[in-house]
Amino acid sequence: MAEENVQRHSEEGLYSKSVRAGKRTYFFDVRSTRGGDYYLTITESKKRFSDDGKFFFEKHKVFLYKEDFDKFNENLADAINYIRQNSPIIENAVPAAADSGISFEDLGK
């Protein structure tokens, strides 16, 4: 019985945020390991249809641990800046969103 409670606790989210982006939804979930360390899961979910017409959600997950936050954040920012500086301008494009103010450093506290 105690093991069941530990499993349920380890799967509980401590913080969750979702972002709808066209046909996709991104989920940012902070979870806790059995040892009490926090980590982030980023999930991309997209609605798909099978051959028989029934829908299902295709999901892809990235698990990001505290020790990788700084490297991940730095390289993500570099990649986004590269795209903003080098991608061709497309007319009628949706303007880039303002900085969200999310800091990976805050997740480790």
Class of domain 8-88: alpha beta
pLDDT number for residue 3: 41
Is the pLDDT at 76 greater than 90? The verdict is yes
CA distances from 98 to 23, 76, 101, 102 (A): 21, 16, 9, 11
pTM: 0.64
Q: Are strands 13-21 and 24-32 parallel, antiparallel or unpaired?
A: antiparallel
- Give the domain ranges of the chain: 8-88
Q: Which residue has the tokens 């996709």?
A: 24
Whole-angstrom distance, CA of residue 30 vs CA of residue 39: 6
What confidence category does residue 55 fall into, taking pLDDT thresholds of 50, 70 and 90?
A: confident
What confidence category does residue 97 fall into, taking pLDDT thresholds of 50, 70 and 90?
A: low
pLDDT number for residue 48: 87
